[in-house]
Structure 1
Amino acid sequence: MPRLSSGILLFRRAPELQVLLGHMGGPFWAKKDEHAWSIPKGEHGPDEDAETAARREFAEETGSPAPEDLVPLGVVKGSKTLTVWAAEGDLDAEAVVSNTFTLEWPPRSGRLQEFPEIDRAAWFDLATARTKLVKGQLPFLERLVDTA
């Protein structure tokens, strides 16, 4: 069974169409910038409603509640089946506080360390977002343009 993930792509229209992305936390992404940013999202089980999971994950990864009104952007299948909604809103990217995950680091050291799921967030215009967002999530930017 494929792994399921759901998220919310927050956007604003001023001064131009921009999206909020989170830089993936942890040692694997620490020195990467291009294609190292993500829509706030997370995994869920097959028995959990995808929209409910998207709302929970948005809150966990940004520290802010998910917006009420969501517009479905559909599904992209890759290593995970990712379902995303868009929501118009504004959020102070500097104030984003993410939940954490535990990882053995360095590998095979026996030491467990905690890392934020998102170590920082920022607003990007669509051209810049195309260079920042992980490649598997790029279709959602085009879908946003079609719906926004």
Structure 2
Amino acid sequence: MRFSAGVLLFRRHAELEVLLGHMGGPLWERKDAAAWSIPKGEYLPEEETAAAAAAREFEEELGLPVPAGEWVPLGDVRYGAGSRAKQVTVWAVEGDLDPALVVPGTFEMQWPPRSGRIQSFPEIDRAAWLGLAAAREKLGVGQRPFLDRIAAHADGTLPR
């Protein structure tokens, strides 16, 4: 099992909005539905706590630190199977940031496939504030339960 942790930044405007990132790289550039993600990344539990990994990954993906605020645990979600199984742990933080200030980190991959050429791509190619209905369409399926949990937190019904 692989482990991943992240921070779901949210704000209360006319409606509850969450900050998501569109996955970068050539495999995602023409996709929109289920091609967005909570800023998160993998970690090794024996080397780092989930909260430390969540803060580090937020900053690596967005190039900005997590805004100051209370970290509300949204729990874990497991998805995938076999060697691709993943447990994702997420915290919600109420705050604001301007997506225009995002300077994403990069990753390298062989592109085009089997070409032998290693290219660098942004981890996310854009970030945006989305209402929960739009976020549900854009967010990867495995991460969607966190939208229900952030809604429950916002209306005071998330169990502590």
CA distance in 2, matches of 1:117, 1:28: 12
CA distance in 2, matches of 1:128, 1:106: 32
Contact 2:34–2:137 (Cα < 8 Å) also in 1: yes
1:23-102 matches, cutoff 5 A? 23-47=22-46, 48-68=48-68, 69-78=70-79, 79-102=85-108
TM-score by length of 1: 0.97
Measure how far apart 1:67 and its partner are: 2.8
CA distance in 1, matches of 2:50, 2:141: 21
Aligned to 2:157: none
Q: Show CA shifts across 1:33-85 (max 9, x none).
A: 01100000000012110000000000111111113421000000113100000
- Aligned with 2:58: secondary structure? helix
Measure how far apart 1:97 and its partner are: 1.1
Say which of 142, 147, 151 aligns to 1:145.
151
- Aligned with 2:22: secondary structure? strand
Aligned to 1:105: 111
TM-score by length of 2: 0.90
- Which residue identity is paired with 2:27? F
Measure how far apart 1:15 and its partner are: 2.2
The number of residues matched between the two structures is 147
CA distance in 2, matches of 1:24, 1:95: 17
Q: Does the alignment pair 1:21 with 2:20?
A: yes
Moved beyond 6 Å, runs of 4+? none
Contact 2:67–2:96 (Cα < 8 Å) also in 1: no
CA distance in 2, matches of 1:132, 1:118: 14
Q: Which runs of 5+ in 2 are unaligned?
A: 80-84, 155-160
Say which of 125, 128, 131 aligns to 1:125.
131
Aligned to 1:3: 2
